Amino acid sequence: MTENHSTKGHSTKEHSQRHGGTPLVVTSAVAAFGVLALLNVDHGPWNKPKMKPMATYSTTGEAARAAGATITPTEPQLAAEPLPAGPKPVNPVNPSTPL
């Protein structure tokens, strides 16, 4: 009754000699290489932000005129027809059935 049930018939010496860390090491190496490659590409010396001179126009019209565009006002839209006074008419529940 002194048998160890956790080994299920294998000796503890064989169990302690198993090596299963190779996939973990390979995965960690690939992940580290990927992170370093992304940092190198995103933050390398060749990827500096390029600043453009900023225009100082206070309105869209000023910017359009400075670019040489002609400004034409839009025609006013017609007002919507007003709703009739009073409550809305009620539709019958089933209009196809005569009373």
Place of tokens 């169990």: 15
Give the model's pLDDT for residue 99.
57
CA–CA gap between residue 28 and residue 12 (Å, rounded) = 29
- Which tens digit of pLDDT belongs to each residue from 32-82? 999 998 887 777 666 677 777 777 888 888 888 888 998 888 887 777 777
Q: What distances in angstroms separate CA 91 from CA 3, 95, 98, 99, one per listed residue?
A: 85, 8, 14, 14
Give the model's pLDDT for residue 47.
67
Q: What distances in angstroms separate CA 51 from CA 42, 48, 72, one per listed residue?
A: 17, 9, 33
CA–CA gap between residue 13 and residue 43 (Å, rounded) = 50
Q: Is the pTM of this model over 0.85?
A: no
